[in-house]
Structure 1
């Protein structure tokens, strides 16, 4: 479905991503794992189109279809192809209601007039009584659910989440995990997480890609995340 080869990215003169390779298979949940500052957010922004790729390739290919070079497409065109992205800052419309946010997402995703299925409230029932409440008036956890719902109403083929558990309480984290498992296993949605919370990763992900200083240093099935890898690449450096 998605294939990255030798992807490089710079911030000015600083080399951030170093020849990153990554393959996402349909229907799997893959986690980009790594400590803060190792390139996870930069990589998902490159995939979504919000950061430039200096060299390398990113190709998208649906079943029985030809490969498409994503680097030639702006973010809205990538979204229209079925790539939905929920960044850390959520990017909801704070002065619009929950329902209006979902309607706008539908229109932006080329899903007709903006009339959305009630299935989204089956996935996130806490949003249903908040339909006429403005985004600014709901809690941070509810805002994240709204951002996720806005991504899902477009019926994406690939859902990208950047640090979804950051700042979350255990209750909403559990609900998010249940939601992702249901989407991944029952609906077959392909998911890419940029994440560092290990219990959550072990619960929802099938595969991992471990980034360290912008390099892909290990990848494989989640059950291959052993103590050696975690101690080597997931232990923060001690302050001098």
Structure 2
């Protein structure tokens, strides 16, 4: 479904990603790991067309993404949840969810019920402003907003950052359900390697903008973490 070969991505003249290659099959779950500053967020932003320039090959559903503007990528079914969530604080939960529906090809403005099944707190707080929610609740809202567009693939950047442990466990359960039961393709950037090991089919480890290691999710062992990720 999503494939990159020889991918370079730039901010200004500086290549942040260099010769990156990976692939994600439909219904797959890819974890992206690495130390801070190695290009993980840049990779997701490149998929969404949010860097200054990208070269090489990057395709989604067999169609090249590099010539597409960001709104067209969203319309093609790519949903992106950035680090920091970017919930609109003055909008209610309902309004935030409705914002996520604008890329839908069917033009539906009826919030899908499965979002409230996955995140019951959103139904309870449907008329509460996004800025009044806790960090964990905002993360649930951000994921719900992305799901409202009925995506083919979900890109998540550090969803467990600053989240209380019980919500992290809930997010893990939701990610597994979305992927395994609903067949949603997921690409996850995450510092929590246990979370990646528990949820992802495969992982790619970035170092200085390049792929340093790849493998099955269960192969993201403590030895790998000590070798590549320990400070």
**TM norm structure 2:** 0.95
CA apart distance, 1:113: 4.0
Deviation of residue 104 (structure 1)?
2.0
**Could you tell me which residue of structure 1 aligns to residue 181 of structure 2?**
186
Give 1:91-130 correspondences, 5 Å limit: 91-130=86-125
Distance of aligned partners of 1:226 and 1:117 in 2 relative to their CA distance in 1, 3 Å threshold: closer
> Alpha-carbon deviations, 1:16-71, whole Å to 9, x = none?
2110001011111110110111110001100011114432110111xxxxx21101
> Contact 2:6–2:57 (CA<8 Å) still a contact in 1?
yes
Counterpart CA distance in 1 for 2:96 and 2:89 is 9
Conservation of the 8 A alpha-carbon contact between 1:101 and 1:150 = yes
1:169 paired with 2:164, answer: yes
How far apart are 1:202 and its partner, in Å?
A: 1.1
* Residue of structure 2 in register with 1:51 after alignment: 51
In the alignment, structure 1 residue 90 sits paired with structure 2 residue 65: no
Distance 1:121 1:37 in 2: 35
Number of aligned residue pairs: give it: 231
CA distance in 2, matches of 1:51, 1:111: 29
CA distance in 1, matches of 2:133, 2:225: 37
In structure 1, what is the equivalent of residue 191 of structure 2?
Answer: 196
Aligned equivalents of 1:231, 1:76: Cα separation in 2: 40
Q: Give the TM-score normalised by structure 1.
A: 0.92
The answer to whether the 8 Å contact 1:6/1:57 transfers is yes
C-alpha distance in 2 between matches for 1:86 and 1:54: 20
For structure 2, which runs of at least 5 residues remain unmatched after alignment?
none
